[in-house]
Amino acid sequence: MDLLSKWKHHSPLQMEVDLEMLAPDLVPVPEPSRKRTKTLAIRHVCNAQVLLIDVKGNVSMQEMRRSEILKMTQEAAKSPVKSSADEDSDEGDKQTSYRPPEIASPRASRRSFSGAHMSGGHVSIGAQAVHMRDLRKLDANFSETNEPCIVARKQAILINADPLRTIIMRNVCIVFIPDGADSLISILKDKFRELVAEKETEATPFEFSTFPMIMKALERLATTQITSADLDTLRTMKNTINDFASQVEGIRRALLSILDNEEDLRLLYLTPLHANPESFYCTAAFDPEVAEVILESYLQEVQTIRTKVKLLEHRIQNTESLVMLKLDATRNHLLAVDVVFGLVTVSLTLGMYITAGFGMNLRSGVEETPDVFASVFVGSFVLCAAIVCVGTLYFRRHGVLSL
């Protein structure tokens, strides 16, 4: 009995579970039963909540598998097939009308695709089609980084800008909806209503109208104000992830310690050692490879979970940095406003000093002079305004104020 058969003999469900985790789209979905509740739960995680928007602006929320989404992109990438009537009409047009040959410019020749070829009278572009690996990059469960990217494929545009992960085709737009993104759904619906209103008046292709709407939705998400409740939620999630990361690290160290100790691996075989205790000291007849393989498989799963936890911690750190940048910008704005109010206070204090000098009971000789009151009042006001303007220009020139 080889090593693989031993593994199947000791763990009959292990191969099936690993296949579902590595390639969930290749496993057929059986009829629901009570015995396979755990397996159905794993497959339910593989489905994705998507928002489908068509050319007419109809929005529908669906649950789709990646294989179904891949089939949609493959159908969109198929070349149109001309009927015989269309070919006859094309031949008639060629006989009745004459078109002079066009001279290709050097710029047009540089833009021509080297992978384009003629097939049945149609130009087939040799562009790369959408593959399953492209869809995995759009899935938050499989993506190793949240680096934004825009990928052009055959009859499809893939946009990965967390939290928006979108596939734009010529007649439909597929938006992957993350968990708890109710605000994102409302924003997308509002933006695509604007898209439908613009499509009624402008003859713009669907992809060129959808792309700006996605960018506007991202801009609206970026400009959303962060409340104190969001900060409390972030702090709670960070503490939870830190506790979970410590637990995962402890399990990883425990598995590594068992794998590094040959005696501990042999002690895991309770039934063989109970039947034949002397086999523990016989290294030739007692081989702990089965236990080692099982523990290594779980160690790989723990390592995968550890990597995902590290990614979550990295995202939380990025969010904290973004929040701190916004708080710093708000603080700088308040400091600039404080500088302006300080200039106004200084100018008003100088004006009050002048008026207090004239308000003393000492005789100055100008009490009986006409129009002195108006001159002093207007002069003090102009002086205060000049101090504020000069101070503002000075601080703006030195980069202190950006108002």
Of the chain, the percentage scoring pLDDT greater than 90 comes to 2
As for how many domains the chain has, the answer is: 3
Whether residues 56 and 156 share a domain: the answer is yes
159-186 pLDDT tens trace: 888 778 888 888 888 888 777 666 677 7
Q: Ranked by mean pLDDT, which of 51-55, 346-350, 360-364 comes out on top? A: 346-350
Paired tokens of 227: 């409340």
- At residue 126 the predicted structure's pLDDT band, cuts being 50, 70 and 90, is low
Q: What pLDDT was estimated at residue 99?
A: 46
Structural domain span for residue 384: 333-361+369-397
Q: Is 122 a domain residue?
A: no
Domain limit, last residue, from 200, 224, 248: 224
| Helices within 148-205 (DSSP H only) | 182-199
Whether residues 62 and 167 share a domain: the answer is yes
- At residue 272 the predicted structure's pLDDT band, cuts being 50, 70 and 90, is confident
308-336 pLDDT tens trace: 888 888 888 888 888 888 888 888 888 88
Whether residues 163 and 245 share a domain: the answer is no
Whether residues 253 and 377 share a domain: the answer is no
Kindly tell me if the per-residue pLDDT of 286 is higher than 60: yes
**Cα radius of gyration (the chain):** 36
Whether residues 213 and 154 share a domain: the answer is yes
Q: Is 96 a domain residue?
A: no
294-308 pLDDT tens trace: 888 888 899 989 988
- Mean pLDDT is lowest, of 153-167, 338-352, 363-377, for 363-377
Q: Residue 160: which CATH number? A: 2.40.128.330
- Give the 3-state secondary structure of residue 29: coil
- Mean pLDDT is lowest, of 114-123, 323-332, 362-371, 391-400, for 114-123
Domain limit, last residue, from 323, 353, 384: 323
Mean pLDDT over residues 36-44, rounded? 41
Q: Is 29 a domain residue?
A: no
Q: What pLDDT was estimated at residue 140?
A: 66
Mean pLDDT over residues 345-368, rounded? 80
Mean pLDDT over residues 380-399, rounded? 88
| Partners of 118 in the β-ladder | 123
Q: Is 106 a domain residue?
A: no
CA-based nearest residue to 25, from 75, 80, 65: 65
- φ/ψ of 59, rounded to 5, equals -115, 130
Kindly tell me if the per-residue pLDDT of 203 is higher than 80: no
Mean pLDDT over residues 124-146, rounded? 72
Q: Which residues of 367-395 are buried (b: 16+ CB within 10 A; e: fewer)?
A: eeeeeeeeebeeebeeebeebbeebbeeb
- CA 22/CA 234 separation, integer angstroms: 31
Whether residues 352 and 255 share a domain: the answer is no
Q: Is 297 a domain residue?
A: yes
Whether residues 280 and 347 share a domain: the answer is no
Q: What pLDDT was estimated at residue 63?
A: 85
Q: Where are any strands of DSSP class E within 47-131?
A: 48-54, 59-64, 117-119, 122-124
Whether residues 61 and 197 share a domain: the answer is yes
Whether residues 60 and 174 share a domain: the answer is yes
Are the C-beta atoms of 177 and 61 separated by less than 8 Å?
yes
370 CB-near residues (< 8 Å, 6+ apart) = none
Mean pLDDT over residues 120-139, rounded? 72
CA-based nearest residue to 64, from 182, 174, 138, 192: 174
Q: Is 31 a domain residue?
A: no
Q: What pLDDT was estimated at residue 43?
A: 43
Q: What pLDDT was estimated at residue 134?
A: 82
Whether residues 235 and 303 share a domain: the answer is yes
Q: Is 282 a domain residue?
A: yes
Paired tokens of 396: 């703006």
Amino acid occupying residue 219: E
Whether residues 149 and 205 share a domain: the answer is yes
Look over the chain and give the mean of its residue pLDDT values, rounded to a whole number: 72
Q: Is 2 a domain residue?
A: no
- Mean pLDDT is lowest, of 10-14, 390-394, 398-402, for 10-14
| Partners of 150 in the β-ladder | 159
Whether residues 351 and 308 share a domain: the answer is no
Kindly tell me if the per-residue pLDDT of 33 is higher than 50: no
Mean pLDDT over residues 117-139, rounded? 69
Whole-model pTM?
Answer: 0.47
Domain limit, last residue, from 189, 224, 259: 224
